[in-house]
């Protein structure tokens, strides 16, 4: 007797094989048989000709806080994700000494665009150490499988307190304690280490996030503390750190390093720069130094207002004002000296900054006042040219007129398909960067998988369906050492996505207010998804989440090693 049989589906196995029409049987959370499996099961599902693929693996999420109050990890499972990796960029919430918890939440509110009131109301601090956090995740029984990274900024904060963001050099004793915490987390099941050197990563009041001020030697030391070659992966928001520098660290310690940086997004102002980074990664890989680029397959767009202008925060002019209230911001935006400083920043933007002065990419989305409604869907550059004003002044004056509530849409990077397509197809890239769980006010890229299958596979034909599915499933699982997932084969875990290739995609953004305390967030809904199964249990039926007393997701804490040429290592 099987637990589940799915009949009448075309199986795309995630391993690159041709699709086949077959039945699939599930027992005890794993795929027990494929082919003609009979009818003896507790649950029979007639797929009616739909396609069945492995569940999507999202290696770049920030559900670290949300999972403490929302085991569904909304909206990711509804968008086909069955496994999520948390703790990216080094911004986890453990270790969390009690006297530092509010500082941790305040920094998250800025650097990851989270609602501070929701964090304060929602996080149930049942944990202090990394091991205690892992125990909490197990008790939560999430709807998706979860893996957790230990974070550079998180351990630095725990060891150095408020000085973590202001003092570059730790004492020898502090460095030893950070290394101990990383090693301990790895022994307790961390999938790897997260870190950041991004100029865009600032915390409360504009202070830099701790890891961003450190010498690269500190990062090197923490990678070394992870354990032997192949024991865990590294993710880094690398900012302007050269590929070659990270390649040397990857080669030295035998850990795969995955870079996420705006420098590797397609930018019309520097059309060859991203391609050059991908080629540099390929060159390093040929030398046995495994560095990869995490790439979003979607245009990087932000919905924002001047009350929370996150896409502009990488410019030094905004450093002192990131935690200002509306009244304080209004005074600053009227100040000619602030505008002059911002103009200076835009004349020479640093690599990796999100907004580089391209006002044609800043669109007026939702004006507030009736007489401004005609500005909707027009660029700031166009409006400025029409009125004979400077675009920067046009931008601020419109926002000030509407009490900082004007809705803007920033379409900054990856906005031209012809430039993005070679990156999406590049072997040194890994489709990722959903940032799910973060930047909730501005964006929701959790639907990157349906977007890839709808836009890049069906609409543009940049990838065929077989390759598109592989790039969302076994590709990530293999590179991250996640065993038995990202594939449909006998014995594999039954993480499955039932979908219609002709209609799969994502809805436009919509705003809901369902965070703790009624806080708002932006989400997307799935199109063409008919069922999502985690370890053989349906968690989403295409319209609603299943009402489960206990989620079927597992905390992943054992991983296969990253194997390099001439390196044979034991499994973690």
- What percentage of the chain has pLDDT greater than the value 90? 82
**What pLDDT is stored for residue 562 in this prediction?**
56
421 is a domain residue: yes
DSSP state of 478: H
Q: Mark whether 307 and 442 lie in a shared domain.
A: no
- Looking at the fold, whether 396 and 422 belong to one and the same domain comes out as no
Residue 151's DSSP bridge partners are 194
59 or 322, which is more confident:
59
The pairing of strands 407-413 and 300-304 is antiparallel
Same domain membership, residue 289 and residue 330 = no
Angle between helices 130-140 and 172-187 (to 10 degrees): 30
- Judged on CB neighbours under 10 Å (0-12, 13-18, 19+), 220 is middle
455 and 404 housed in the same domain: no
Q: What is the pTM of this model?
A: 0.90
Note whether 139 and 114 are same-domain residues. yes
Residue 48, in any domain of the structure: no
CB 18 within 8 A of CB 466: yes
Say what the pLDDT of residue 571 is. Answer: 33
Give 516-560 pLDDT, tens digit per residue: 999 988 899 999 999 999 999 999 999 999 999 999 999 999 999
Task: Establish if 473 belongs to a structural domain.
Answer: yes
Q: From CA 460, how far away is CA 528, in angstroms rounded?
A: 18
Q: Range of 398's domain?
A: 302-413
Structure tokens, 46 = 């007639």
Phi and psi, residue 478, nearest 5°:
-65, -45
Q: Which pLDDT band holds residue 566 (cuts at 50, 70, 90)? A: very low
Distance CA 250, CA 244 (A): 10
Do 191 and 268 lie in a common domain?
yes
Residue 7: helix, strand or coil by DSSP?
A: strand
Residue with the two structure tokens 């046009």: 394
Q: Which of 394, 413, 432 is the last residue of a domain?
A: 413
CB 94 within 8 A of CB 133: yes
Give the length of the chain.
572
| Mean per-residue pLDDT, 228-242 | 93
Range name among 174-188, 305-319, 530-544 with the lowest pLDDT average: 305-319
pLDDT of residue 30: 98
Q: Single out the residue in 380, 397, 413 at which a domain terminates.
A: 413
**244 with 377, same domain?**
no
């Amino acid at each position: 007797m099987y637990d589940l049989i799915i009949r009448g589906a075309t199986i795309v196995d995630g391993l690159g094989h041709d699709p086949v029409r077959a039945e699939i049987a599930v027992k005890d959370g794993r795929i027990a048989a494929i082919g003609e499996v009979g009818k003896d099961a507790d649950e029979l599902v007639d797929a009616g000709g739909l396609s069945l693929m492995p569940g999507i693996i999202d290696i770049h999420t920030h559900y670290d806080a949300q999972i403490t109050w929302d085991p569904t990890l909304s909206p990711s499972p509804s968008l086909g994700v069955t496994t999520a990796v948390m703790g990216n960029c080094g911004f986890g919430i453990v270790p969390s000494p009690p006297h530092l918890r509010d500082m941790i939440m305040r920094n998250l509110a800025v650097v990851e665009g989270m609602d501070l009131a929701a964090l304060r109301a929602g996080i149930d601090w049942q944990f202090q150490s990394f091991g205690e956090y892992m125990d909490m995740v197990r008790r939560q029984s999430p709807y998706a499988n979860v893996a957790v990274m230990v974070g550079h900024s998180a351990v630095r904060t725990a060891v150095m307190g408020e000085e973590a963001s202001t003092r570059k050099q730790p004492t020898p004793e502090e460095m030893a304690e950070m290394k101990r915490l990383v090693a301990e987390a790895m022994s307790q099941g961390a999938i790897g280490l997260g870190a950041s050197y991004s100029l865009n990563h600032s915390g409360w009041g504009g202070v830099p996030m701790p890891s961003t001020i450190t010498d690269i030697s500190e990062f090197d030391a923490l990678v070394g503390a992870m354990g032997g070659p192949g024991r865990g992966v590294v993710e880094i928001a690398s900012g302007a750190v050269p590929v070659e520098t990270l390649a040397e660290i990857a080669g030295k310690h035998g850990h795969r390093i995955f870079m996420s940086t705006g420098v590797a997004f397609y930018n019309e102002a520097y059309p060859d720069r991203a391609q050059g980074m991908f080629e540099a990664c390929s060159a390093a890989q040929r030398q046995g130094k495994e560095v990869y680029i995490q790439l979003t397959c979607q245009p990087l767009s932000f919905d924002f207002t001047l009350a929370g202008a996150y896409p502009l925060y990488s410019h030094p002019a905004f450093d002192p004002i990131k935690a200002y209230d509306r009244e304080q911001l209004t005074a600053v935006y009227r100040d000619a000296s602030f505008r002059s400083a911002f103009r200076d920043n835009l004349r020479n933007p640093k690599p990796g900054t999100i907004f580089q002065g391209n006002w044609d990419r800043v669109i007026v989305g939702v004006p507030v006042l009736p007489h401004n409604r005609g500005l909707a869907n027009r660029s700031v550059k166009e409006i400025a040219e029409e009125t004979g004003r400077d675009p920067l002044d046009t931008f601020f004056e419109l926002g000030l007129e509407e009490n900082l509530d004007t809705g803007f849409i920033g379409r900054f990077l990856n906005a031209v398909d012809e430039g993005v397509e070679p990156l999406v197809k590049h072997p040194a890239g890994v489709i990722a960067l959903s940032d799910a769980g973060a930047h909730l006010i501005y964006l929701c890229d959790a639907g990157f998988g349906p977007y890839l299958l709808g836009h890049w596979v069906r609409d543009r034909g940049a990838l065929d369906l077989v390759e598109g599915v592989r790039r969302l499933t076994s590709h990530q699982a293999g590179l991250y050492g996640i065993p038995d997932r990202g594939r449909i084969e006998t014995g594999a875990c039954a993480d499955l996505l039932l979908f219609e290739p002709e209609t799969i995609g994502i809805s436009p953004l919509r705003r809901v207010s369902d965070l703790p305390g009624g806080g708002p967030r932006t989400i997307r809904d799935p199109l063409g998804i008919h069922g999502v199964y985690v370890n053989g249990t349906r968690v989403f039926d295409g319209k609603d989440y299943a009402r489960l007393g206990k989620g079927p997701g597992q905390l992943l804490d054992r991983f296969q090693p990253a194997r390099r040429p001439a390196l044979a290592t034991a499994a973690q």
